[in-house]
Chain A
C-alpha cells in the first residue's frame, strides 16, 4: 500500500515535470513566430487604419487562424524534444541524486524511494517567458491603438478649396432648414463626380472650369431663391396693406403665385415645410391665411432670405463693384489662357502696347564686335588653295633607283650640330679606303 502511494506520488511528480518541459519546448518553438505575428499583425492593423479600412471580424479571424496554425506548427516542431514519462523519471532521479531508484522501481526491479516534497528541479524563467509574448502583444496593441492620421485626410485637404466650401455652405443651409435636402444631394453628387477623377486631374483646367461652373450655378440658385423669397414676402406685405386697391391686391397675388411657381421649378427650393405652406397659400390665393400666420410667414421668409444673402457672401469679400468704370473702354486684350497652355502672345506687355510678333519675319542678329565673339559667330572669310603634291608620278622600270642618296646628306648637314657634323665627317674620311 505504501509502495503504491510512493509510486503514485513519484509518477505525479514526473507527469508535472513532463508537462512543464513539454509546454516550455512548445513555447520556445512558438516564441519567435509569435513575435513576428505581433509585428506583422500590428503593421497590418496600422495599414488598415491608415487607409480607414475597418478592422472587422475577418481581421480578427485571420489573426486567430494564423495563431492556431503557428501553435500547431510549434507543437509539431516541439514533439521531437518532448519528454516521455520515463525520461521525466530519469531526469527527476538524476537531478535529485536518487541513484536511478525511480527507473529501477518502475521496471519492477526495486522498491520506490520515499517521496519528499522538494523544490522544483526546473523553474520557469519568467524573463524568457514574458519577453516574446509581451513583445508580440506590444507590437499588436501599438498597431491597433496608437493614434494615427488617416491617409484620406491628406487627400481631402489637397482638393480644390471650392469643393469643400460649397459642401460646407450647403450643409449649413440644410442644417438651418433654409433649403431642401434634395438640392444638397444633387450638389454633393456632382462634387463626388469631380472627386472621382484621378487626383492628379483635380487641378486640371477642365476640373477647375467645371468647379467654377458649379460654383456659379450654385450662386445663381441662391440669388434666385433669395429674390423669390423676398418677392413672396413683398407680395404678402403689400397684399395685406389696407390702403391697397383691389387691382393692386390681385397683382400682388399674381406676383406671389409666380414667385412660388419659380421656387417650385428652381433647383434650389426652400425647406419642405415652407414650400408646402407657400404652395397651399398660392393655391388658395392668400385668402386662407390669418393675420398672425401671414406675419409669421413674412418673418420666416425674411430670415431665410437674409441667411441666403449671408451665405452667398464670401468671407472677407466686400460687395463687388457693379457696372463699368468711368474710363473709356480699351481695345480687346488677349486672354490668359488655360493654366496648362500658358498665356497667349498678347500685344500688351507690362501695360505697353507692342506689335504682335510675326513669326515669319524673324531675322538673324549679327555680332559686330570681333574682339569678343560669341560662340557661332563668323570671324573671317579667306580664299585659300589646297596644298596639292604636283610631283609627276608615272610608270617606272623595276630595279632602277631614282633617289641619289641626297636625303641622308641633307640630314647630317641640316639636323646635326657642328661638332657632330665634324666628327661624322672625320669618321667617314677615316673609314674610306
Chain B
C-alpha cells in the first residue's frame, strides 16, 4: 500500500489552510466548528450540525460550497416534504409522438446538499436520504441513479426539544460522520458580525479549491498511515462504548457501531493531514471522538434522569480507556497518564 509522503501532506495542508482562512472570513468566531467541518469533508463524511436558528449553520454550508467551487443545493425540510421532492420524480413527457417517463433529478443531485432543518421532515422523507448518504445513489421506480462525486450531505437540525421536530432514526444518524454542536457567538464575534455584515446582503466568498484539488487532497488523506497501536486504540474505544465494556458504559443502552470505528479512523487521518503529519495518532482519535460518537450512542433512561449526557459519557470513556494496554507496575510512578 502506498502511503502519503511528507511533501504530499505539506501540499494538502497548505490547501486546507487556505480553505480554512476563507471560511473564517465568512463565519466569525466559529473556528473550531469550521475545523471540524473541513475535517469531515476531507474524511468524506456527512455532517450533522445542531444548534438554534440563526447561528450561521446555513451560512457555513453555503460558504463551503462557494470556496470549494462545487455544485450545491439546498433543501428546506418541512413536515409535508415527500421523498420524491428530494430524490427527483419521473415525469411523463411526450417525445417523438410517444409518451414516456423521464427522470427529473431532485436536489440531491449536487456535490454538496444542504439539508436544512432535517428533523422537521417526516421520518419517511428522512429515510429517503439513507441510500443517498451510504451508497451515493438513489433508486426511483426501480431505476438507480448515481449521484455526482464528491457527495456530501450537510444537515442542520434544531434541538429536538423544539416544536414540530421528528427525531432522526438511529440508522440515519449513524450515516453522519460528525454531529457538531453549533454554539452561540461570543460578544467579540457578534461585534465583528455587526461591523462587517449587513442584513440581507450575502457576503462575498472567493473560490479557493477546485474539485480536482479537493479530490487530490482527499486522496492524500486516504494514504495517511494509521499505526497498528492507534487502530487498536480505536477498536478498544468503540468496544468500551458497549454495556460491560467499561465502567463509563454503564449509562449506555446501545453502543457505537463498527461504522463508528471506521469513521474514527478516517477522521483521524484527515486531522493528521490538517496538522501536517503523515500518520494518524492517539491525540487525533481523542480529539474527534466526541464528534464521532455522540450521536451513535443511546443512553440508558435512568442515566439520562441522573443527568448523564453522551458528551459526559464519552469524556469518561476517554479517561478510562488508555492509549495502550500495558499497565504501570507499582514500584514505578508514571508522570503522565498513558
Residues of A whose CB lies within 8 Å of any CB of B are 20-21, 24-25, 27-28, 81, 83, 87, 90-91, 94-95, 97, 99-101, 103-104, 107, 109-111, 119-125, 128-129
Contacts and interface: CB of A to CB of B under 8 A. Distances in A.
Contacts of A20: 332
Interface stretch (B165-173, B183-191, B273-281): B273-281
Contacts of A21: 326, 328-329, 332
A297 B284 CA distance: 112
B48 to A, nearest CB: 28
Contacts of B281: 99-101
Most buried by B among A25, A27, A110, A121: A110
B91 to A, nearest CB: 53
Contact of A91 (B228, B230, B284, B338): B338
B244 interface: no
14 contacts: A27-B331, A91-B338, A94-B324, A94-B338, A99-B277, A100-B280, A101-B279, A101-B281, A104-B225, A109-B227, A122-B328, A122-B335, A124-B333, A125-B333
B227 A97 contact: no
A121 B331 contact: no
B338 A95 contact: yes
Interface bin, chain B:
20 to 34
B151 interface: no
Nearest to B323: A94
Contacts of B329: 21, 24-25, 27-28, 81
A90 B278 contact: no
A95 B275 CA distance: 19
B225 A109 contact: yes
B335 A91 contact: no
B336 A121 contact: yes
Given A27-B329, A94-B324, 7 more contacts: A81-B326, A94-B338, A99-B272, A103-B228, A103-B229, A122-B333, A128-B330
A103 B278 CA distance: 12
A321 B113 CA distance: 138
A91 B282 CA distance: 11
Contacts of A103: 227-229, 279
B319 to A, nearest CB: 14
Contact of B335 (A24, A81, A95, A128): A95
A111 B6 contact: yes
Given A100-B229, A104-B225, A121 B283 contact: no
B332 A124 contact: yes
B3 interface: yes
Given A104-B278, A107-B227, A111-B6, A99 B283 contact: yes
Interface string B188-226: 000000000000000000000000000000000000010
Given A100-B282, A104-B279, A129 B338 contact: no
Contacts of B327: 81
B216 to A, nearest CB: 20
Nearest to B336: A95
Interface in B263-301: 272, 275, 277-284
Nearest to B325: A87
Contacts of A94: 282, 323-324, 336, 338
Nearest to A129: B331
B335 A119 contact: yes
Nearest to A24: B329
A123 B278 contact: no
Interface of B: 3, 6, 225, 227-230, 272, 275, 277-284, 323-324, 326-336, 338
A94 B280 CA distance: 13
B279 A91 contact: no
A110 B324 contact: no
Contacts of A90: 229, 323-324
B237 to A, nearest CB: 14
A28 to B, nearest CB: 5
B283 to A, nearest CB: 6
Contact of B227 (A95, A100, A111): A100
Given A101-B279, A109-B3, A87 B324 contact: yes
A114 to B, nearest CB: 15
Nearest to B284: A99
Nearest to B283: A99
Contacts of B334: 95, 121-122
A123 B338 contact: no
Contact of A120 (B279, B328, B335): B335
Nearest to B227: A103
Contacts of A104: 225, 227, 278-279
A111 B272 CA distance: 15
Nearest to A128: B331
A81 B328 CA distance: 9
Contacts of A24: 329-332
A63 to B, nearest CB: 23
Contacts of B333: 122-125
A107 B3 CA distance: 12
A122 B272 CA distance: 28
Question: Which 10 pairs across A and B sit closest by C-beta, in order of nearness?
Answer: A99-B281, A104-B279, A24-B329, A100-B281, A109-B225, A122-B332, A94-B323, A24-B331, A95-B336, A103-B227
A99 B335 CA distance: 18
A118 to B, nearest CB: 10
A94 B227 CA distance: 13
Contact of A121 (B230, B275, B330, B335): B335
A137 to B, nearest CB: 17
Contacts of B272: 99
A120 B336 CA distance: 10
Given A91-B338, A100-B229, A111-B6, A125 B279 contact: no
Contacts of B336: 94-95, 121
A128 B333 CA distance: 10
B279 A28 contact: no
Nearest to B275: A99
B149 to A, nearest CB: 28
B337 to A, nearest CB: 8
Contacts of B229: 90, 100, 103
A83 B329 CA distance: 11
Contacts of B326: 21, 81, 83, 87, 91
A206 B281 CA distance: 94
Contact of A123 (B277, B282, B283, B332): B332
A110 B281 CA distance: 13
A61 B272 CA distance: 60
Contacts of A25: 329
B6 A100 contact: no
Nearest to B277: A99
Contacts of A129: 331
A131 B46 CA distance: 58
Contacts of B328: 21, 122
Most buried by A among B275, B284, B331: B331
A239 B77 CA distance: 155
